[in-house]
């Protein structure tokens, strides 16, 4: 996962968007329409792995496509990612 953390503003910037498994993805064109999380999605050059929270049944793909948008319902997961990135950045500052 690639992202940046600004210590002065505590702002986390991610270089991907969270797309929910099972949604239809048309980002590679209508002739390559696929479902998020399918074999076609996993072979896409913009696929950057997946994320989930332990207590949620929803899975999300980290998509790096320039036109990707976050899926509805990813707010809690995104907050967890922000917290994790901030914690890692602060640990690295003091190690």
pLDDT in 10s for each residue of the chain, 95 residues: 468 888 889 899 999 999 999 999 988 776 678 899 999 899 999 999 998 877 667 899 999 999 999 999 899 899 999 999 999 888 888 87
Strand, helix or coil for residue 14: strand
Q: 74-93, pLDDT tens digit by residue?
A: 998 999 999 999 998 888 88
- Contact yes or no for 62/71 (Cβ under 8 A): no
Nearest to 43 by CA among 59, 25, 20, 18: 25
């Amino acid at each position: 996962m690639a992202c940046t953390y600004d210590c002065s503003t505590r702002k986390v910037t991610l270089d991907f968007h969270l797309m929910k498994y099972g949604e239809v993805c048309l980002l590679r064109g209508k002739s390559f329409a696929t479902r998020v999380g399918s074999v076609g999605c996993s072979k896409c050059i913009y696929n950057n792995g997946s994320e989930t929270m332990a207590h949620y049944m929803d899975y999300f793909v980290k998509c790096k496509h320039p036109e990707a948008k976050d899926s509805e319902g990813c707010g809690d997961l995104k907050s967890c990612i922000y917290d994790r990135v901030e914690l890692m950045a602060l640990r690295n500052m003091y190690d």
